[in-house]
Amino acid sequence: MSDLVELIFGLGMLGFILFMIIGIPITMIADSKKPKTRRRRYQQNRTYTPFDYTPTEFDYYHKSDRGEFFVYFIANEKLGALKIGVGNSGRIQQLLNSYQQKDEMSDGIGWQVLKVAQFSDAYTDYELGKRNGNEAEKRAHFYWRYVLNLPLYLSEEQMGYSRIRKNEQTMWVLTPGYTETAVMQKVCEVSTWNYVVNAPGFIRETNAFSGINSRDLRLLHVSHSTLDLPPNYENFKLARVNHANPKATAGRTATSKKSEHLEQKVPPKKSSEPVENVQKKTEPYTAGGIGIYPCTTPSCKWPSASMFESVKCEMCSKR
């Protein structure tokens, strides 16, 4: 009887040892492969702006075809503003459906389509179309900022509100794009659009977004309308157009609420006699791309080519 007890006890000890050697490591390995759940952190409510998102994180409320890429030319008669921009159909619909308040029952901001140029469709390379469309947009804005010397016109608040969808939720944000606006009365619309349709990669004009009251483009400068490129566009190459254009800010009207607020804070400068042959300290164009400096030649409105070259522009350097 004692031998049987010892046998049972021995088998029990053997099983326990085998469990310790084999079972516990297998259990630990299996547990390590299970997905771990973490407690969700408490998130405070916050106000969202268009700058909180990237194109991969949100879609405009209106659906868009990612295979198409456009350059759009729109006008706002109530605000006296023009805007040139790029994007797909969702971007255009966002502007056309922007409201004065965060409410669909409020009045629309008032953008109307003048012209839309297509640079990519289902039969072309989308990325190439985007590059060509951006180049066309840059030519138009170069004409506004550096040829006509017109700064941005509207403030951010004047663009109104639009609905976007993020993480399956719909919310209201300020409509982006105020830096691409100009005063309507001083822009030659025919010349502006001529530079767009003569850019590389232009496919066709489309009437898909035009309303029944779309007006004709206004001609202001006949000499500019006959050119395929803005005057002096090829003399230097800008990575980005400086929409602020410091040498044109004096011509900005009081329409922009933001500019009015800033101008009130700037104390008036004391009048002094001009001093000849005195070079002021050169400050870079922070909004115009890395390495873009203003030309130091008096009365010259062009930026120099690079911070690593002369502080004079290409035209003044050749004199």
Farthest-apart Cα atoms in the chain, separation: 123
Compare 145 and 245 and report the one with higher pLDDT. Answer: 145
Residue 262 covered by a domain: no
Is the confidence at residue 53, as pLDDT, over 70?
Answer: no
Do 93 and 152 lie in a common domain? yes
Mean residue pLDDT of the chain comes to 75
User: What is the per-residue pLDDT across 124-143, written as a single tens digit (0 to 9) for each?
Assistant: 999 999 999 999 999 999 99
- Candidates 136, 55, 51; CA nearest to 88 is 55
Residue 275 covered by a domain: no
Q: How far apart are CA 73 and CA 144, in angstroms?
A: 13
Among 238, 254, 270, identify where a domain stops. Answer: 254
Residue 300 covered by a domain: yes
* β-strand partners of 170: 165
Contacts within 8 Å (CB) and 24+ apart, 258-266: 258/155, 258/156, 258/157, 259/155
Q: pLDDT category, 5, cuts 50, 70, 90?
A: confident
Q: pLDDT category, 70, cuts 50, 70, 90?
A: very high
How many domains, in total, are found in the chain? Answer: 2
Do 61 and 197 lie in a common domain? yes
Residue 261 covered by a domain: no
Is the confidence at residue 156, as pLDDT, over 80?
Answer: yes
Do 94 and 198 lie in a common domain? yes
What is the span of the domain harbouring residue 234? 50-254
User: What is the per-residue pLDDT across 234-269, written as a single tens digit (0 to 9) for each?
Assistant: 886 777 888 876 554 444 443 344 434 434 444 444
Two tokens at 232?
């002096």
Q: pLDDT category, 18, cuts 50, 70, 90?
A: confident
User: What is the per-residue pLDDT across 259-306, written as a single tens digit (0 to 9) for each?
Assistant: 344 344 444 444 444 433 333 333 333 333 333 445 666 666 565 443
Do 151 and 224 lie in a common domain? yes
User: Which pLDDT score, from 0 to 100, does residue 218 have?
Assistant: 95
Percentage of the chain lying above the pLDDT 70 cut: 63
Do 250 and 295 lie in a common domain? no
Residue 19 covered by a domain: no
Angle between helices 189-197 and 126-142 (to 10 degrees): 150
